[in-house]
A and B are shown apart, each in its own frame.
Chain A
Amino acid sequence: MIKVENLRKVFGAKVAVDNVSFTVKKGEVLGFLGPNGAGKSTTMRMVTGFFAPTAGSVSIGGVDMLENPEQAKKSIGYLPENAPLYSDMSVSSFLGFCAELRGLHGAARSKAIDHAIDLCFLQNVRNQSVDTLSKGYRHRTCLAQSLIHDPDILILDEPTDGLDPNQKHEVRALIKRMGEKKAIVFSTHILEEVEAACTRAIIIDRGKIVADGTPDELKRRAPGADSVRVIIRGSGARAEIEKLGCVEKIEATASDDSSLIGRALPTKKSTGAEVAREIGALAALRQWKVEELHHVEGKLDEYFRSITRSDVAA
């Protein structure tokens, strides 16, 4: 539904987005990750037709954004970064305004407003003026705006920014639920969110895509992922574990004849889980004292840190 090809955006001498391509199909939730200033918002602004790309193309449900912007924008719901709102309106009149621009009038308009207010839990502030709302409510009002016409495509720039833990949970669940019938792209700095809601994730750094895969695939690429941490007291432990067929090698931080502290890495054919099982069985057989035996699955944020260093290095 969303097809982005070789997108590029240059601000003066600065390349903000460089040759970014991806597609999102119906039923997919794509997480957009990257350090500050990586170009996430800029990419989203080009996808939604706010910025004109320097080069490349954006196609929304088969409609080209540059050739036919009004048609393409119809099927998109967009939550911009920082949730902009007209401060001189009430929540419901703001939503009504957005509904009208989306072509909803009369009864359809009131129904859409009610539905969006329910989805984003805005009942309490329905008639409150926007400029007196708290940050989280402002964010939810703007989120409600993006859902008001029940779009096929959702582009959400940091949808959980500023929300309390309960609301974060609700919004994640909402994204996940809606993702079954829509194509969703959302950006976030909270990596658990990606695991909780995304079917796929893209990591972008200095304007370029540096990783693209399911959250599980990316997790497994973290340094030291899928290894087994061990602290075992027992004579000859290290030598015997090293001989196991499923163990590639052992990285010991401290070891002598009677104990082993470190981690065991599986061979290519094996897995960390198997290594943990084998070591456990062997330890039981030899009656070693096991202080720790832990299968490290790998964390998304470790992988993220290992491939995005731009904000630190610069």
Chain B
Amino acid sequence: MKNVFTIFKREFFGYFNSPVAYVILVIFVLAAQGFTFFFGNFLDQGDASLARPFFMWHPWLYIVLAPAVGMKLWSEEYRLGTLELLMTMPIAPWQSILGKYLAAAVVWAIALLLTFPIVWTVFYLGNPDLGPILSAYVASYCYALSCLAVTCAVSAFTRSQVICFIISVAICLLLTLFGMQPIIEAIIKALPSSMEGVVRFIAYLCFLTHYYEMTKGLLVLRDLLYFSSIIAVCLMITAWALQSKRS
């Protein structure tokens, strides 16, 4: 665990030694609030519910911003050649992977904490249930972590941060779009009816389906389990990619 913490520390302070983390935090916080007020009809809604106007935009922000945070995780190690240092230290590869992933995860935790002013606004305007808000925050964080895990895995395949960014955005976008109800319906209509089950199953595997369940205010164990397995699978792909680069 000590080694995980050492790796975590280096990576985490690395984010804040460069402008990257600050830029992304500022963009995220501003965009999350901006979308809520300008496009979410937050103020016209009457009831001071936060779930739709605020949280509906988060997946779209994560699609772009999570890869921006995660793209350097392994690409940078390849480019600098420091992977050779890291992998010849007396630590297990999973310790490096976990430490680095956690550092990026904490950056997102900070980003979400910085959106608390909006929660405060909601409480100021009305008297909402705290439960659904917390549950939606958990859902949002799960979404961020999943996009981050995808980026982590992609970055283990390439030494170019640009390529990593583009491919990660594309994957996250697909995993989001295929969970949108109108798109699912359109695809089902276009395909023979025998395929409906398959499409529904693929849709079920997408981030957005589970995200909506959770933002409805239900902290469903099934959905938490879903996001955890996405993250676990991505981290295992990372380990496999790192291993195959070395053999």
Contact = CB atoms under 8 A, between A and B. Distances in A.
B3 interface: yes
Interface residues of B, number: 22
B246 A80 contact: no
B17 interface: yes
A97 interface: yes
Chain A interface: which size bin? 20 to 34
Contacts of A274: none
A71 interface: yes
A86 B14 contact: yes
Main SS class of interface, B: helix
Main SS class of interface, A: loop
Contacts of A78: 85, 88
Given A84-B85, A101-B89, A51 B6 contact: no
A78 B85 CA distance: 8
B193 interface: no
A82 B80 CA distance: 10
Contacts of A85: 80, 82
B89 A84 contact: no
A84 B84 contact: yes
B194 interface: no
B182 interface: no
A281 B122 CA distance: 109
Interface stretch (A42-50, A238-246, A259-267): A42-50
B84 A45 contact: yes
B246 A84 contact: no
Interface in B222-247: 246-247
Contact of A97 (B10, B18, B84, B92): B10
Interface string A227-254: 0000000000000000000000000000
A51 B89 contact: no
Given A85-B80, A86-B10, A70 B92 contact: yes
B18 A73 contact: no
Contact of B87 (A50, A76, A86, A100): A50
A73 B247 contact: no
A12 interface: no
Contacts of B89: 73, 98, 101-102
Given A80-B85, A145-B85, A100 B80 contact: no
Interface in A90-113: 97-98, 100-103, 105
Given A80-B81, A80-B85, A84-B81, A51 B90 contact: no
A283 interface: no
Contacts of B92: 70
Given A85-B82, A86-B80, A88-B14, A49 B88 contact: yes
A86 B81 CA distance: 9
B91 interface: yes
B80 A84 contact: yes
Contacts of A49: 87-88
A105 B5 CA distance: 12
A101 B81 contact: no
Contacts of A73: 88-90
A74 interface: yes
B97 to A, nearest CB: 14
Of A50, A82, A102, chain B has the most CB atoms within 10 Å of the CB of A50
Interface in B1-44: 2-3, 6-7, 9-10, 14, 17-18
A255 B98 CA distance: 78
B195 to A, nearest CB: 40
A282 interface: no
Given A84-B81, A86-B82, A88-B17, A76 B88 contact: yes
17 contacts: A45-B84, A48-B88, A49-B87, A50-B84, A70-B92, A73-B88, A76-B88, A80-B81, A80-B88, A86-B10, A88-B17, A100-B6, A101-B3, A101-B7, A102-B90, A103-B2, A103-B90
Interface of B: 2-3, 6-7, 9-10, 14, 17-18, 80-82, 84-85, 87-92, 246-247
Interface of A: 45, 48-52, 70-71, 73-74, 76, 78, 80, 82, 84-89, 97-98, 100-103, 105, 145
Interchain residue pairs A-B with the least CB separation, the first 4: A84-B81, A52-B247, A73-B90, A100-B6
Given A86-B14, A101-B91, 13 more contacts: A45-B84, A70-B90, A71-B90, A78-B88, A80-B84, A82-B81, A84-B81, A85-B82, A86-B82, A97-B9, A101-B90, A103-B2, A145-B85
